[in-house]
Amino acid sequence: MIEQLIYFSPLFILLFGIMTFMCNRSQENEPLQCFRLARILLALSFLMCVIFFNKPLLAGITIGSRFTLINNSLMYLGAFILMFFSRRWFLSMKMNANAFCIGVFITLLFGSLLIASVHLLLTVVCLAALVINNACMLQYTQSKNRADGKIILFSVIMALLLLIGGTLPFYVDGFSLFYEELRLSIEHHQNDVALFASVAAILVIFMLYIGLAPLHHGMTELLGSVTLPVFTFFILVPSIAGIAGLINLNIYVLVPLLSKLKLFYAGVALISIGIGAVGACSCKNIRKILAYAAIYHLGIVFLILQRFSLSSTVAAYVYYVIYLLTMYGVCAVLFGFKIKGEYPLMLSDFNGAAYRRPYISAMLVIFLFSLLGFPPTLGFLGHFSLFTDLVIHNHFYQMTFLLLMMLALAYSYLTIIQALYFEDSHDVFDRAERSIYVVIFANAILMALLLLQPQYLFDVLTNIIGDLFA
Amino acid sequence: MGEMVLLLLIIPLLGCLFALLAKKNDLNAFYVCIFTLLCNIFSVLFLLSEVSAPEAAIFYVFNWLGNAGTSITYGVDILSLLVLLGVYMSVLIGLTGLSALQRKNKMSLLLSLYFVWNMTGLIVAKDIISFYVFFVGLLPPVFMLLGVCGNLKKISMLNLFFIFNFAGVLSLLAAAVFTYKFYNGNVLLQNIVLTDMPTRVGVCVWIGACLAFLVRIPIWPFHYWISSVSVSVKNPVASIITNMLPLTGVWGCMCFWASAVPPSIKETIPLAVVLGLLTILFIALIGLAHNDFMRKLFSYSTIYYLFFLLAVIVLEDKYRANVIYSLFTFMIVHASLSVLDLIADRVCEEEHCSYHGILYYMPRLSRLFAFFVFIAAGLPISSMFWNNFVIISAMFRYNFVVGIWCISAIALIGMALLHELYTMYDLRGIGINRDEVEDISDRKQTVFMAVIVILFLSFFNPLWFVF
């Protein structure tokens, strides 16, 4: 019993943090203290996660593996970077950061559970909590805009209805909701239309949570206007739990439905890639461009995941990890540009920034080229594994479409580079924190090392994902 | 000796690092560039002395992804070393032409070194993955250099140039990935022919690769973007580097074509030849019609690159050495003319005088300029004359019309350059005193005199500097 409680300690620490932030009504010394406490709790929780990474939180309902560890690490790292950089903004705006910290902690709490879950009910509950939490986080910075609020409310209600609709048939038909047993049940009822509809409903919620097209609209529109801390949160943290949960579901439950779901996956992925690339081209707001680009990149991950095989899952995960590492860098760079205490939104605000902040701008350009798969950046490795996977499995049309969309996405990134380097400078940027340089440099070093010795990345991820297939 | 090949790649990277750390508004980055290029030139000369036989080569192999079939191979032979030497000398000549302000532009110097690194990688790459890596890597520095040093009014044109080149790059990526699949790993360029591919896939791979190379060479109708963005560049190094981009296309064709082409692709050679010939004559006429020396020089470089491309495609492999010898001289002549013209241009801007007759007032520049224009026009004062003579003779043997067409285009562009030389001597319209114009410095004159000696001695032996 005590042993089980110790295994629960990462979640208890997060719960403790949530409670503390909820009870904290004092405005004094806010938000520095708030972020300090959040960082300490995050570090403690992560430490416990690492120590007990192979111990299941709830026997039978969750699993502990290297896969959960690596996803938790990525999620905590994202949250830590977020907390580290956000504190200055909250301080300069004199805003209460409790709600923000609660949102991040809830995501970590349910995200960790979703990553480790091997029980459909737990997965569904975590997904519902995460969707509601995301909506609250968006509402938190969008309270003035009623129209956006309605969109959020509508999507949350739809998500909950779909979740209930997707899970009930399994329950009513007497299926066990444990992944392994559920898979056996699905194998015997492969032609059951209602069952397929239920699976599709659950997958739709995953899509909504990750922010894939065509359910992206509210998310991208809002991300274009939210504050940078919230934007960074949405770019870095939620998708990790979503992708990991989806990979678990694919491998443990949905393999029997592979032939039927292939078209669904490919369709969603191609729509996301298309909308992400074309949408980014039409934007003049840097955060919107990056939000659309996120749809594009997550669409690619979805595209490779469509085969549920070890090689494709590894390729997808390698691509995703590289994308995430690059986005850590991009977000850190965005925190380096500040005009009179505010983070700029529009591309025109970045005009001539390279002459004011040459190193940060150069790193942003390198990260953007990495996202486009330009060698010798780490992104090339992700793109190479992606294209090799598509060609090996004879998906020539999908590859052609992807290449065309890469051109469109390249255009949107060029507009950012154009603003940074080829336009005249008007604005005076505030002094960037030294920690931003440190984080960007560390990120660049990590990426360079992985590029020089890519076999470590491939071997480690192949072994980790291979364990799931074993 | 294989490590020397790696050294060729490491030196420019180290140069980039030092240039990055150099102080802003200082000459340190400039000196780093000069030192880096000199180091690489000496390394190439050393390697040239080691690789004496024409068929000899030095290789360096290492395993990148850790599993079988992903070995990266670099290698050099006499021809690739000569191209490298041409590249380094061209950039070095460009550096001598920088103004005092341009020498302090750290970003353009850094990008130039990065370009040199990629160019070195492309020329020493012997397998398809590393070839792709460096082929793509050339695009960002050129794009940034054009944006930073070029005409800001043509940004949309620059974006089109990037997208267009990126499309070519992606087609090479598709070709590389297909080859990777069917060869079961990374394939050496010379072994592409051994890859067992279905005919249709083979055709797609070759079309992908050829498209990638053709977009680099401003072949009609793809010539517009690069010409419109490159002629407005006032930085000599940026101008030389931009005009070196087509070399990557020619080099790519040379590498891929050498490894034998599938018969289905060979059937399309006449089509490529017709397209090339049409472009060559079209651009020669454009060059003749323009009044701007930079545009004429752009036409000159395009015509010569296409000429070399046609020679690679239609002639036998034994003429490859002649193509490379001619290419080496051509690169140096082109770089020298670009720099000298930009110097004359700068003087005109500073003195607010007309371009006409400027050489009359700058006797030193005039002598150098005339020498390089004479070489470019095809006079027998460098190895380019002999080698072009051999190539054109072989083209006549291949097809009389192709030979006539090529010689006409070369003669036309030679006329255009000579006409421009006459214009720059023509005193009509000039309104300044001779004493007001400052001629080029002693140091610059010494550099160009050295270049002239190198070119003149190459008339007797193209590899006279190899001991």
Q: How far is CA A389 from the centre of its chain?
A: 22
Angle between the N-to-C axes of helices A193-210 and A258-281, in degrees from 0 to 180, rounded to the nearest 10: 30
Residues in Cβ contact with A465 at an 8 Å cutoff, skipping those fewer than 6 apart: A67, A247, A310, A313, A314, A317
Of B366, B234, B384, B182, give the one whose Cα is nearest residue B300: B384
**Three-class secondary structure of residue A339 per DSSP:** strand
Phi, psi of A153 (to 5 degrees): -60, -45
Q: Half-sphere exposure of residue A100, counting CA atoms within 13 Å on the CB side?
A: 27
Phi, psi of B188 (to 5 degrees): -70, 145
Q: Residues of A numbered 426-465 whose beta carbons fall under 8 angstroms of chain B's beta carbons: which are they?
A: 453-455, 458-459
- Residue of B63, B65, B207 to mutate when probing chain A, most A C-beta within 10 A: B65
DSSP annotation of A470 reads -
Of A54, A74, A72, give the one whose Cα is nearest residue A64: A54
**Interface contact A44, partner B, CB < 8 A:** no
Q: Is there a contact between B163 and A417 if contact means CB atoms under 8 Å apart? A: no
Kindly identify which residue of chain B lies nearest to residue A421, measuring between CA atoms: B148
Mean pLDDT, rounded, for A314-327: 92
Q: Is there a contact between B139 and A374 if contact means CB atoms under 8 Å apart? A: yes
Of the partner residues A376, A391, A423, the one whose CB lies closest to the CB of residue B181: A391
Each domain of chain B, given as residue ranges in start order, spans 268-467
Q: Enter the tokens of residue B386.
A: 């002999």
CB B50 within 8 A of CB B1: yes
Q: Give the whole-number percent of chain A exceeding pLDDT 70.
A: 93
- What pLDDT shows up at residue B431? 59
How far apart are alpha carbons B223 and B240 in whole angstroms? 17
Of A344, A371, A123, A79, give the one whose Cα is nearest residue A234: A79
| Closest CA–CA distance from residue A361 to any residue of chain B (Å) | 12
- What pLDDT shows up at residue B365? 87
Q: Is there a contact between B166 and A407 if contact means CB atoms under 8 Å apart? A: yes
Of the partner residues A410, A418, A423, the one whose CB lies closest to the CB of residue B166: A410
Q: Is there a contact between A387 and B177 if contact means CB atoms under 8 Å apart? A: yes
Residues in Cβ contact with A424 at an 8 Å cutoff, skipping those fewer than 6 apart: A351, A352
CB A21 within 8 A of CB A36: no
Of B274, B226, B225, give the one whose Cα is nearest residue B247: B226
DSSP states of B80-96: HHHHHHHHHHHHHHHHH
CB B151 within 8 A of CB B235: no
Angle between the N-to-C axes of helices A98-116 and A238-249, in degrees from 0 to 180, rounded to the nearest 10: 20
- What pLDDT shows up at residue A171? 67
In angstroms and rounded to an integer, the radius of gyration of the C-alpha atoms of chain B is 22
- What pLDDT shows up at residue A206? 86
CB A262 within 8 A of CB A307: yes
**Interface contact A93, partner B, CB < 8 A:** no
Of A366, A369, A346, A368, give the one whose Cα is nearest residue A423: A346
Give per-10-residue mean pLDDT for chain B (467 aa): 87 93 86 95 90 75 68 88 94 92 89 95 92 93 88 76 90 89 83 78 84 82 70 86 90 77 73 86 87 87 92 87 92 94 85 74 87 90 90 92 92 91 74 69 90 89 74
Query: Tens digits of per-residue pLDDT, A408-442?
Result: 999 999 999 999 988 887 777 888 888 888 888 98
Mean pLDDT, rounded, for A349-363: 89
Which residues does chain A have within 8 Å of residue B66's beta carbon, measured at their own beta carbons? 453-455, 458-459
- What pLDDT shows up at residue A53? 80
Query: Tens digits of per-residue pLDDT, A203-255?
Result: 888 888 888 877 666 677 778 888 888 888 888 888 999 999 999 988 888 88
How far apart are alpha carbons B265 and B269 in whole angstroms? 7
Higher pLDDT, A191 or A248: A248
Of the partner residues A407, A422, A454, the one whose CB lies closest to the CB of residue B167: A407
Q: Enter the tokens of residue B374.
A: 């004479």
Mean pLDDT, rounded, for A85-114: 86
**Is the torsion defined by CA of A107, A113, A118, A123 positive or negative?**
negative
| Closest CA–CA distance from residue A20 to any residue of chain B (Å) | 47
Q: Enter the tokens of residue B309.
A: 């491309």
**Interface contact A380, partner B, CB < 8 A:** yes
| Closest CA–CA distance from residue B363 to any residue of chain A (Å) | 38
How far apart are alpha carbons A365 and A343 in whole angstroms? 18
Residues in Cβ contact with B227 at an 8 Å cutoff, skipping those fewer than 6 apart: B218, B295, B298, B302
Which residues does chain A have within 8 Å of residue B139's beta carbon, measured at their own beta carbons? 374
Of B405, B418, B341, give the one whose Cα is nearest residue B377: B418
Number of residues that make up chain B: 467
Is residue A151 very low, low, confident or very high in pLDDT (cuts 50, 70, 90)?
Answer: low
Query: Tens digits of per-residue pLDDT, A254-302?
Result: 888 888 888 888 998 999 999 999 999 988 899 999 999 999 999 999 8
Mean pLDDT is lowest, of A75-84, A137-146, B393-402, B432-441, for: A137-146
| Closest CA–CA distance from residue B167 to any residue of chain A (Å) | 7
Which residues does chain A have within 8 Å of residue B152's beta carbon, measured at their own beta carbons? 422-423
How far apart are alpha carbons B458 and B451 in whole angstroms? 11
- What pLDDT shows up at residue A188? 81
Which residues does chain A have within 8 Å of residue B65's beta carbon, measured at their own beta carbons? 454-455, 458
Mean pLDDT is lowest, of A120-124, A144-148, A213-217, for: A144-148
DSSP states of B31-77: HHHHHHHHHHHHHHHHHHHH--STT-EEEEEEESSSSTT-EEEEEEE
- What pLDDT shows up at residue A167? 72
CB B394 within 8 A of CB B324: no
Chain B residues bordering chain A (beta-carbon distance below 8 Å): 64-67, 107, 129, 132-134, 136-137, 139-140, 144, 147-148, 152, 155, 158-159, 162-163, 166-167, 170-171, 173-174, 177-178, 180-181
Which residues does chain A have within 8 Å of residue B181's beta carbon, measured at their own beta carbons? 388, 391-392
**Token pair 């931003």 is at which residue?**
A436
CB A333 within 8 A of CB A364: yes
Kindly identify which residue of chain B lies nearest to residue A424, measuring between CA atoms: B152
**Is the torsion defined by CA of B26, B29, B33, B38 positive or negative?**
positive
Distances (CA, A) of A43 to A34, A50, A52: 14, 11, 14
Q: What is the 3-state secondary structure (H, E, C) of B356-410?
A: CCHHHHCHHHHHHHHHHHHHHHCCCCCHHHHHHHHHHHHHHHHCHHHHHHHHHHH
- What pLDDT shows up at residue B68? 54
How far apart are alpha carbons B323 and B327 in whole angstroms? 6
pLDDT at residue A448 greater than cutoff 70: yes
CB B201 within 8 A of CB B63: no
Number of residues that make up chain A: 470
Q: Is there a contact between A422 and B152 if contact means CB atoms under 8 Å apart? A: yes
What is the b/e burial string over B225-249, where b = at least 16 CB atoms within 10 angstroms of the residue's CB?
Answer: bbbbbbbbbbbbbbbbbbbbbbbbb
CB atoms within 10 A of CB A144: 7
Of the partner residues B129, B148, B166, the one whose CB lies closest to the CB of residue A421: B148
Distances (CA, A) of B359 to A262, B287, B437, B439, B444: 71, 21, 10, 9, 16
CB B58 within 8 A of CB B50: yes
| Closest CA–CA distance from residue B139 to any residue of chain A (Å) | 9
- What pLDDT shows up at residue A180? 82
Which residues does chain A have within 8 Å of residue B167's beta carbon, measured at their own beta carbons? 407
pLDDT at residue A28 greater than cutoff 60: no
- What pLDDT shows up at residue A343? 87
ipTM of the complex: 0.88
**Interface contact A399, partner B, CB < 8 A:** yes
Q: Is there a contact between A410 and B163 if contact means CB atoms under 8 Å apart? A: yes
Of B225, B213, B321, give the one whose Cα is nearest residue B276: B213
Of the partner residues B65, B67, B155, the one whose CB lies closest to the CB of residue A418: B155
Is residue A176 very low, low, confident or very high in pLDDT (cuts 50, 70, 90)?
Answer: confident
**Interface contact A388, partner B, CB < 8 A:** yes
How far apart are alpha carbons B17 and B37 in whole angstroms? 14
- Domain of A292? 2-469
How many structural domains does chain A have? Answer: 1
Which residues does chain A have within 8 Å of residue B147's beta carbon, measured at their own beta carbons? 417-418, 421-422
How far apart are alpha carbons B63 and B41 in whole angstroms? 28
- What pLDDT shows up at residue A5? 76
